[in-house]
Amino acid sequence: MSNKDDGHHHHLREQESYYAARTKALESLFREKNLIGQDTVDRVIGFFETEMGPFNGAKVVAKAWVDPDFKARLLEDCNAAIAELGIRDGIEGENLMAVEATKSVHHIVTCTLCSCWPWPLLGLPPYWFKDPAFRARIVREPREVLQEFDVKLDPSTKIEIWDSSAQVRFFVVPVRPEGTEGWSEEKLADLISTEAMQGLGLVHAN
């Protein structure tokens, strides 16, 4: 059996080398044809490391937790509210909408047709969000899928699912955990995962 597995992994590594070489060939051709700049790829990756990432969403959620007026404005007009915090919108966030989780209603975001995701607030989508099995199951058996994410909901909690298919990118303000009274926004933001801001995680005070 171990021989088989080694062969399998070897084969996988070979494929990855191929994909890597083909990608390199692609960028190389783009450079030759003046379709890309030498620093474009680095700048794009850096952009999602420093400018558009889940740190934005966490900042917004923490603010909403400590400032009820801000939260009201966020739920009313998400794009305008995040601008107050100096967060720019843009691609895949032209029309953002925040929904607030409560103890009785849990929100889950998915995109069964592709992988629509609120980039300005969460950066790029992680692999789980794009997984065909996740997208197949989350709309029909959300409680079973939540279990696979180790999320335990009270059975009486109602679930609302948001399946993006046209223009709006949905974003969840999760429930603020107990025991965080008086915490700073920075300290609160550190608790908030990407998953919690799409309903596949809860926020816990560490």
Partner 1 sequence: MKLQQYLGGLENVGPVSTEKRVFVEEWEKQLFGVHMCMMGTGIWAWPHLRVKAEGMNPLDYFKYRYYIKWLGGMCAFLIERNYINEEELDELTDYYLENPDAPLPEKGNPKVTQAVVDYMYTGDDPYRDVANNPVFKIGQRVRVLDPPSAVHTRLIGYLRNQVGVIDEVYPKAVLYSDSVPTDSISVPQPIYRVKFMTREIWPERPDTSDSLFSEVFESYLEAA
Active-site residue numbers? 111, 114-116
Write out the binding residues for partner 1, residues 151-190 only, by CB under 8 A: 158-168
What are the b/e assignments for 114-131, b being 16+ CB within 10 Å? eebbbbbbbbbbeebbee
Write out the binding residues for a second copy, residues 11-70 only, by CB under 8 A: 11, 14
4 binds, among partner 1, a second copy, none (CB under 5 to 8 A by kind): a second copy
The rounded Cα 15 to chain-centroid distance in angstroms is 28
Write out the binding residues for a second copy, residues 3-22 only, by CB under 8 A: 4, 7, 11, 14
Q: DSSP per residue over 55-75, as a string?
A: HHHHHHHHHHHH-HHHHHHHH
Site string for partner 1, 9-48 (x = CB under 8 A): -------xxxxxxxxxxxxxxxxxxxxxxxxxxxxxx-xx
Residue closer to partner 1 (CB basis): 64 or 195: 195
Give the pair of three-digit tokens for residue 195.
């998953």
The answer to whether 118 touches 169, Cβ cutoff 8 Å, is: yes
Query: Binding partner 1 by CB under 8 A: which of 72, 80, 83, 139?
Result: 139
